[in-house]
Amino acid sequence: MAAATPHSPPPQQLSSPFLEYIRAPGGLDKVVLRGRRSCSVEIRLFGGQVTSWKNDHGEELLFVSSKAIKPPKPFRGGIPICFPQGNLEQHGFARNRLWAIDDNPPPLPVNPAIKAFVDLILKPSEDDLKMWPHSFEFRLRIALGAGGDLSLTSRIRNTNTDGRPFSYTFAYHTYFSVSDISEVRVEGLETMDYLDNMKGKERFTEQGDAIVFESEVDKVYLAAPSKVAIIDHDMRRTFVVTKEGLPDAVVWNPWDKKAKAMQDFGDSEYKHMLCVEPAAVEKPITLKPGEEWKGRLGLSAVPSSYCSGQLDPLKVLHG
């Protein structure tokens, strides 16, 4: 069966106790995944974008700006999908398109304990093909695990019929909600090489300590480990970010000056967010016709192993 068009009714399998399809005008239809107690995930069809992830106490774990703008502008917060980047609009057009429910996705091995998931699909429109002349199928599975963990699996296939390969860069532009950015540490990126977007993408090596935030940061960590931890002292919460198929990790906080310059971002909101974005940036991914690429993001929020001023990075990173 072909993928549903954006305006067709939601398929039958969406009527499950773990899923709700909510209609809203202006491309704002969304799917809500429900887990144990108050765990939930909200996904907007516009952008195929996760806009909310709540833990079992119903606390929001992702940052969304109070000034976020409605479609057709990209939405500031949650997890925008950045694809296909290159000489296109910033971060590509996928975050700016209406995705459809994929009612017959090719099989994807899943943990049978995961009941709450949804499959979305994006194919290029005629206009998209004028801008980026490649035919593709982008399948996105968003799943809420039994313990409240969230995973996004992207499968991108080259469906060009003229034999041409294509290349792209990619990012899960994840906006985490934090209590106070100056109390946050990121562990797992110590001693990594990075490109500094604020210094013309010059390459540097990170020092040996966990990363803390005192000013604007916009860095692409290269060949970053598959697990990175964001430790929020005040919340005593640690986000564990895992990634597969995505070598790099972008870390971004706009800080005060850039915050003021952004129309869709509150002046002080930089204090309450941090982007850590599993990505493939340095080396574009190339797919020949018929080839498929897979990239996975896993997120969990666990209590910090914070004890009398000492954090134990080994415990956080290796369980």
Ligand X SMILES: O=P(O)(O)OC[C@H]1O[C@H](O)[C@H](O)[C@@H](O)[C@@H]1O
Say how many residues touch ligand X, by CB under 6 A: 8
Q: Does 305 bind ligand X (CB under 6 A)?
A: no
Considering only 91, 155, 185, 237, the residue that binds ligand X (CB under 6 A) is 91
Q: Does 250 bind ligand X (CB under 6 A)?
A: yes
CA torsion, points 68, 70, 75, 80, in degrees to nearest 10?
160
Q: Which residues are annotated as a binding site for substrate?
A: 76, 90, 95
The least CB distance from residue 94 to ligand X, in Å, is 13
Which one, 68 or 317, has the nearer CB to ligand X?
68
Residue 173 annotated as catalytic: yes
Nearest to 69 by CA among 80, 61, 60: 80
Considering only 275, 287, 297, 311, the residue that binds ligand X (CB under 6 A) is 275
Q: How many helices (H) and strands (E) does the chain have?
A: 3, 20
Token duo for residue 140? 């996105």
Could you count the other beta carbons within 10 Å of the beta carbon of residue 127? Answer: 9
DSSP annotation of 68: P
What size, in residues, is the chain? 319
Q: Does 252 bind ligand X (CB under 6 A)?
A: yes
Question: Across-strand partners of 150?
Answer: 144, 299
The one catalytic residue among 42, 187, 269, 277: 277
Answer for the pair 119, 105: CB distance below 8 angstroms, yes or no.
Answer: yes
How would you classify the pairing of strands 184-187 and 248-253? unpaired
Token duo for residue 207? 């020092």
Residue 57 annotated as catalytic: no
Binding mask 7-46 for ligand X (x = CB under 6 A): ----------------------------------------
Q: Does 282 bind ligand X (CB under 6 A)?
A: no
Q: Does 63 bind ligand X (CB under 6 A)?
A: no
Which stretches of the chain bind ligand X, using CB under 6 A?
A: 74, 90-91, 197, 218, 250, 252, 275
